[in-house]
Every structure is written in structure tokens, then in C-alpha cells.
Amino acid sequence: MLRNHFKNFDWWLFSAVVFLVFIGILMFFAGAKYGAGDIYLKKQLFFLIFGIILIFGISFFDYRRLKAHSAPVILIYALSIAALILVLMFGVKVRGSISWFKIGPFSVEPVEFVKIAILALFAKFFTLRHAEIYRLSHIVLSAVYVAPDFGSAILLIGIWVGMMMISGINKKYLATLFFIGAIFFSVAWFGIFKDYQKDRIFSFLNPLEDPYGAGYNIIQSRIAIGSGGLLGMGLGRGTQTRLGFLPEAHTDFIFAAIAEELGLLGVVFIFVGYGFIFWRILKIANWASNNFAKLFCFGFLILISLQFIINISMNLGVAPVTGITLPFISYGGSSLISLFIGLGIIESIAIRNFKTANQEI
């Protein structure tokens, strides 16, 4: 039984994900070697090991139980929303937003797990109520309302719209949703967004207007990327990264750090890794035997591709700084573990298909 289980396990997808995680760990190792401390390295290695155990463990769970029963999916979503509300009441404030629970040496960011819960919830109800998916707006809007930061709200809305488009929503409903979205953004701008969030948007439009304030991050990121050249300055030798000019080089701006130290060649390897992951998930979705599995795979693909596009755009200075990290590579236990939970469900889907994506490469 175990032999058949792991025979259908998508080792190609798993290997590509671990490859990207190790690129991030390599950057943390360089930071530890050159005096930045080894705390990020040790914690990320722990998160990786724990995440791998989760992937294998969840792959034994039959995802069709989520498809057949509504209660577990609704319960998971309700608990996730409750965690978001509790973090607003009892959480720790970091970089202007209250997003984390402090538990001993670790910080937990509930919104990362909400993203996976919403994927499962939407895959479930879009399958059951294909013609009325527009009526589920209250589900995502409730999550967006209690989302602790602008970046998370963008991702939640992106997942919602993307999955509706894949599900075949009527174009008139889609147009209505965009209109509602424009109104919501206007209300949020004047009544919800904090000053620092508005400053990030203004600095993206003209970072040189405030080079030592709101525009600082984008300017330093551009300098780091531009100084990397073809082969980079060498692991641990990036001046912007190691001298502390590049902010959040282990999270939001790790792409700029990689470009500076590993150059265009390192960036190409990253792009190939992500492209391979996207392709494998698409294959699993195409081979899936039911709409729930297809929708979950497509939803997960939307999530990581949105994070990938927004983070790199942010590093290049063509999108405002939103706090969205680079999936699998940036430091962060909540992000990595939540993504590994999603991958575990996708592996469960691959294993239980009549044909699996592993049979073709």
C-alpha cells in the first residue's frame, strides 16, 4: 500500500518546492556566515522539516472527504476567521499591522492559514452551486474586512475573483464585482487604510520624492538588483544586503538580495523553479477526476502565482510595497507551513486520480 501511495506521489512537484526553499535557506546561511546571526537559518530549517512531514502526512488523507462533507470545511474557515479576529484583539504589532500571535520563540500569522481555508471553501461551494457563485461574496468580504494588512486583502480578493473566473461566472456578474470592488477600495482608502499604507502607494508612484522615508525600500531594492549583474557579487557579499541598506532582505525583499548576490543566473533558476511548479500543478488539475480537485489546484496556483508576481513587481519598483512575501523562499513559518498544507492536499489529489501527473513528465 505504501509503495503504491508513494508511486503516485508527485515527486517532481515536491522536489521543485524543496529546491526553492533551499535557495532561501542558502541566503540565510550566507547571512549567518557573514555575521547576520543564524536565527533565520535554524528556524527555517525547522519549518522545512515540519512542513515536509505535513505534506507526507496530509497526502494520506483522502481529499474527497472535504468534497463529500461541508461541515469540516466550514469549521476550518470559521476557526480561521475567529483567529483573525482574536489576533486583532490580542496580537503583536509588527511594521504597522497587528498580524501575529506570539507563542514562545515563534510568531504565528493566522491570515496565512485563512488563504488555504478559503481555497477549500470556495472549491467546495463553487462545485455545489456553480450557477450562484456570486452569492458567496460575503464569505471573502468577511475575511477581507478582518485581514490585518493590505497585502493579505489583495490576495484574498485575487483568489476569489480568480476562482470565480475559472468556475465560469457570468460576465455581467464579474463586471458588477469589479464595480463593487472599486467602491470598496474608495471606502477603504478614506476610512480603513492607515497612513503608512497610503505612503507606500505614493512612494511606488515616485520613490525619489521621499528617498529616506516611504521611497527608501524601493530605491534600495532597485540598487541591489541592478548591482548584481549576470553572476552576482557572490553569496554573502552583496553590499546592499549585508551592510543593512536593503530592508527586510530575508522576507519582502529577498528577491532583490538574491539578484544582488547570485545575479541574473540565480534569478533565472528561480523563475525556472516557479515555472516548473506552476506546470506540475496544472497537470494535476487537468488529470483531476472531479471539479473540487480541479478548483482547489487552480486556486492554489492562483495564490502562489499572485504572490510571485506581486512580490517581484514590488522588488522591481513597479508595484507598491504590500508586505507580500516570495512563496517558499522568503523567511516565515506561517507562510511556509500553510503552503505545505495546500501542497499536501494537492499531493492527495494527485495520488487518488485515475491517472496522475507523475505518469507524464
Instruction: State the chain's maximal CA–CA distance in angstroms.
Output: 63
Identify the pLDDT of residue 361.
46
Coil vs helix vs strand at 101: strand
Is 90 exceeded by the pLDDT of residue 266?
yes
Do 140 and 156 contact (CB within 8 A), yes or no?
A: yes
Reported as a pLDDT band with limits 50, 70 and 90, residue 79 is confident
Lowest mean pLDDT among 156-160, 223-227, 298-302: 156-160
Is 80 exceeded by the pLDDT of residue 146?
no
Percent of the chain with pLDDT over 70: 76
C-alpha cell at 153: 486583502
| C-alpha 283, offset from chain centre | 20
Rounded to 10 deg, the angle between the 333-351 and 39-59 helix axes is 20
Identify the pLDDT of residue 81.
78
Span between the terminal Cα atoms of the chain, in Å? 24
C-alpha cell at 203: 512612494
Identify the pLDDT of residue 191.
62
| C-alpha 33, offset from chain centre | 28
Which tens digit of pLDDT belongs to each residue from 12-22? 999 999 999 99
Q: What are phi and psi of 107, to 5 degrees?
A: -120, 130
Identify the pLDDT of residue 63.
92
CA quadruple 305, 40, 29, 57: dihedral positive or negative?
negative
Most confident of 25-29, 154-158, 201-205: 25-29
**For residue 292, which of 349, 222, 226, 351 has the smallest C-alpha distance?**
349
Is 90 exceeded by the pLDDT of residue 270?
yes
Secondary structure (DSSP) of 287-352: H-SSHHHHHHHHHHHHHHHHHHHHHHHHHHTSS-------TTTSS-HHHHHHHHHHHHHHHHHHHT
Element (H, E) at 103: strand 97-103
Q: What are phi and psi of 23, to 5 degrees?
A: -65, -45
Provide mean pLDDT across the span 292-298: 94
Reported as a pLDDT band with limits 50, 70 and 90, residue 244 is confident
Residue 300: domain span: 2-359
Which tens digit of pLDDT belongs to each residue from 327-361? 999 999 999 999 999 999 999 999 988 544 444 44
Identify the pLDDT of residue 338.
96
Between 298 and 30, name the one with better pLDDT.
298
Tally the domains of the chain. Answer: 1
Cα separation of 321 and 313, whole Å?
9
Is 50 exceeded by the pLDDT of residue 37?
yes
CB atoms within 10 A of CB 143: 25
